[in-house]
Structure 1
Amino acid sequence: MSAIKVKELNKYIKKYIAMDYILSDIEVEGEISNFTLHSNGNIYFTLKDEYAKINSVMYSNDRMNLEYSPKDGDSVIVKGSVSVYEREGALNLYAKTINLNGIGNLYEEYLKLKDKLFNEGLFNEEDKKKIPYFPRRVGVITSPTGAAIRDIINVLTRRNNTVDIILYPANVQGDLAVAQLIKALNYFDENPVDVIIIGRGGGSLEELFSFNNEELARRIYNMKIPVISAVGHEVDYVITDFVSDLRAPTPSAAAELVSMSKEDLNNSLELLLNRMYRKLDYKIETEKLTLKKNYETINKNVFRNVEMGKLKLSALREKLILNSPKQNLNVLKLKLENSKRILDNIKLEKIIKNSMEKLDKQKSDLDFLILNILKRKKYNLIEEKTKLVTSIKSGVYLKNIDGGILKSARDIDVDEIIDIYFIDGKARARVENISLRSDELE
């Protein structure tokens, strides 16, 4: 047999391989490395395991059908055919599909559930509850040992350390996760807080898949309390993100959303104070303009009456000359009485002017009084807040059976049951007697 060309050899090998029905439609499991997206749209990569590797190619028209973006390190199952690139004599795996190993079916389940719940209206914006502006009690459902709870505590403590954090520990992945997450939501429905954060740190699709559960999604949708979903990183999306009342890109971002900083609180108080001043000034100016308008109207009437009186007196004078003395005296008497009424109106003008001056003085006194009252109330508010924070930080504070913090003896009734919280536990007590001190500032 005579020698053949290299080209002919490679062509023969390619033809021989194409005749193998296994190699023409095969699934190969391995890890992606040397991943390259060419400018022509083709994908070139190496598929390897711990023992061997094979060069792989996916053409651009097949790449358009991919449901995810492959990258180095992905464990995948590649479906395609094996052939030889004749010019190089290289054996290649020509990929038709690439699926992440073990989660291709999970992603399909995620898409089906997402479409189902969307069509049922569970993602509707009009059904979402409003997140409270200044929550005092925040429920957190996550792993007690994960990074998520540490991030939430750090952010809340830094921004506003008066916010109570109630952690309900739960598995966030694995077979027990869904049941524990639902149990935690049931607990907070029976023991209300202002808002709930449910979530975990980042992970693979398989690790986050507990948050793609239909039963968990429906439980979140039916919660009475607003729920914030904070699962994974910013690029991760799960079903709980869509059914919750608000999606936070990370657990830290969720903590930012539910905490108003002390600086923001002070700014809000200043805005309220300025708004109150503006309303008072507007009310006073409106009343002042009304009085001024009434004063001008009365003044015009008085002036008109005086002028009319002058005309009538002039006419009377002429009649006195023509009429009899007795008749003139009667007419004069009537005219004098009318003139007296006109003079009384002139006195009323002076009274109104004096009233306007008194009103201006009362307005100044009222401004001064309101300013002092607001300063005292703000002082009392700051003092009460300081007492509350000091009490909580000291490790001892009181709450009623509904969980509300008791700041004053006026908040307690005789025979009421209260809880006393110490640094190492709590005690329940019944109030037998209440003695009140008179406030120094009222």
Structure 2
Amino acid sequence: MAEITDTALQGTSKSPNTITLQEFNNRIKRLLADPSVMNCWVVAETTDVRINQHCYLQLLEKNPKTGATVAKIKAIIWGNQFRFLNARFKQVTGRDIGNDMKIMVCLSVNYSPQYGLTVVINDINPEFTLGDMERQRQEILNRLTQEGIIGQNKTVPVPPVLQRIAIVSAAGAAGYGDFMKQLTDNKYGVCFYPCLFQATMQGVKTVPTVLAALDKVEQNQHLFDCVVIIRGGGGTEELNSFDNYDLARRVATFPLPVIVGIGHERDITVLDYVAGIRVKTPTAAAEHIILQAANALAHIGDLSNQVVSIARDYIARAKEQLSYYAGNLPIMAQRIIDTNTLRLQNFIQNIPLHVQRRIEGENAQLARQKDAIKNAVAQVKMKETMRLEALGDKIELLSPRKVMARGYTLTTCEGKIMTDAAQLEAGKLVTIHFRDGKVVAGTQSVIKDK
């Protein structure tokens, strides 16, 4: 490193005029006293919220298309003012001031020469945040409506009795405990078969763990009648996770009926709009299931009473009929005997007449059959005679004598009829048959036609 000499120092220009740091800070303070940076209403998102007597936070502005942060500044709400503003904010929105909120705040810039620059929140508009929350919820509902699935789970058939229940909740949650106690202690003595699929029911893990639980239920859907998603009461900010599109879509398209009981009576989430059955609280969910089973039991009881009543009426009518038959049995028996006796006498009297008629009928049929046989034999005889005559004529026409009468001869050799010159040999004796005789001749040679 080069050494800086006294000569080099002597060669520098004269030092400029200086001011104190306090004076510099006062100049900044005077610049920041501009009214344009006092009591300005600003819309921003919150992050890194910390409460330690005062409320410290960062305000962000993001690009609506890319989500990238385009502006960021630290701010503070002084202790007394924070308690007042937070109480008013919670009264309107149901939530404490926290992270990941879109808020409208009144900002001022304060500058202290001792402590530096401070952005102070003087006021907040909770109605703006409430409107933004409702806007996000309405956007989800509109999207589900456009996709045609918002009411799909409401069309899933609900069994008459919901006994095999898949529960999505946190094991140690008070809402889950209330639900189970209500279910097991029901006054009707109905036996239910609940199965817990654990999930985180508040915070950033709510959506992924509830979705994972629903996936497990769907893999075993044949084992269950319905799904119950329950969570006890709490701050409204703890229920914001249920205003989620992916979760709402999963519930809307779930193949089993979904019962949602989240929060208190005043709390409404997107899941309440898409679930097949919406109740106010976990306890109300259990009451709904118990009431449905009780109605089924009452219906069965009504059917049983109807069966008993019908059976009693039937037995009473049967007894009356039996008494009637018992009283009239001797008279009816005598009437039957008298009637059958009369019929028997009529049969006996009519037997000779019936026999005579039967014999006459059979004789007439026998005569008809005899005539038919004679006619059939005559027809067969005539047909066979005509057939034999026709055959005789054909044989006569085909007789060799008839053929020879027309000038043809028949040649035999050694008792065999010769039909081809190739059958003969020179020197052989042949017999030539004529119509009126025969000639024996010898063959000198055999000449075949080409």
Q: Same fold (TM over 0.5)?
A: no
Q: TM-score under structure 1 normalisation? A: 0.45
Q: TM-score under structure 2 normalisation? A: 0.44
